[in-house]
């Protein structure tokens, strides 16, 4: 068991998050998919920090990412609330105001 395993788990987790992001129509699920991807990245950071570089910088980045993720969720959920008020739906395929 080593970095290979964790790397594989990270990539798989990221891909699942990505697929969720692309395939789902529910905005809340999309935000959760983003969280999944962030977690995958965090996992990779810690793994690389532990096995590949052998210093704690990667863990620091994980902290930073966690903070940013928390901020992102706060803002993202605020946006969702505003969106829901505005469009009365959570379906992203229907929220296409930016269509050119």
Partner 1 sequence: MEAITQQIIFWILGITTITAAIGVIAASNTINSVMSLLVVMLAAAGFYMLMGAPVVALFQIIIYVGAVLVLFLFIIMLLNPDATGLSMSRKLSVWMAGIVSVGMTVVIGWIFWQSATQTNMQNVMKNHVCSCTIHDISVVLFSRHLLIFELTSLLLLVAAVGALLMTKKTREDRS
Partner 2 sequence: MSLYFLPLAPALGVLINGLAGKHFSRQMIAIVAVTAVGVPLLIAGWLCYQMILAPATTKAMTATLYQWISTTAVSINIGLLLDPLSMVMVLVVLFIGFFIHIYSVVYMKEDPGFRRFFVYMNLFIFFMIILVMADNLALMFVGWEGVGLCSYLLIGFRHEKKSAADAGRKAFVVNRIGDFGFILGILLVIVTFHTVQFSELSKILASHHGISNLTLTIAALLLFTGAMGKSAQFPLHVWLPDAMEGPTPVSALIHAATMVNAGVYFMCRMAPLLQQAPYVLTFIAVIGLITAVYAALSALGQDDIKKVLAYSTISQIGFMFIAVGSGIFTAGMFHLVTHGIFKGLLFLGAGAVMHALHGELNIYNMGDLSGHLKIVAATFFIGLLALAGIFPLSGFFSKDAILWGAFEQYGSWYWLLAVVGALITALYCGKLFGVAFLGKQNFSGTIHKPDAVITMPLAVLAFCAVGTGVFGLPMFTPNTLFSRIMGSSFAPTEAGHAVAVAAGSHTLEIVLTVAVSIIVITVFIIALRIFSIHRDKAALFSASYRKTGEFLHAGFGMDGLYDLLWVRPYEWIAQICHTVIDRIIIDGTVNGTGKMANATGGLFSALHSGQLRYYAVSILAGVFTFVSVTYFLIP
Nearer to partner 2, 88 or 98 (CB): 98
Site for partner 1 in 18-77 (CB under 8 A): 18-20, 22-26, 28-29, 31-33, 35-36, 39, 42-43, 46-57, 59-60, 62-64, 66-75, 77
Task: Encode 56-70: b = buried (16+ Cβ within 10 Å), e = exposed.
Answer: eebeebbeebeeebe
Give the number of residues in contact with partner 2, rule: CB under 8 A: 13
Angle among Cα 23, 72, 5 to the nearest 5 degrees reads 65
Site for partner 2 in 55-84 (CB under 8 A): none
Give the separation between CA 66 and CA 84, rounded to whole angstroms: 26
When asked if residue 95 is in the footprint of partner 1 (CB under 8 A), the reply is no
Nearer to partner 1, 29 or 100 (CB): 29
Q: How many CA atoms lie within 13 A of 37 on its CB side?
A: 13
């Amino acid at each position: 068991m080593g970095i290979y395993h964790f790397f594989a788990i990270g990539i798989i987790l990221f891909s699942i998050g990505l697929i969720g992001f692309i395939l789902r129509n529910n905005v809340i699920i999309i935000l959760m998919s983003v969280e999944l991807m962030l977690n995958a990245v965090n996992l990779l950071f810690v793994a690389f920090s532990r096995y590949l570089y052998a210093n704690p910088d990667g863990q620091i980045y994980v902290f930073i990412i966690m903070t940013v993720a928390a901020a992102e969720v706060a803002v993202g959920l605020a946006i969702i609330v505003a969106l829901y008020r505005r469009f009365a739906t959570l379906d992203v395929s229907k929220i296409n105001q930016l269509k050119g």
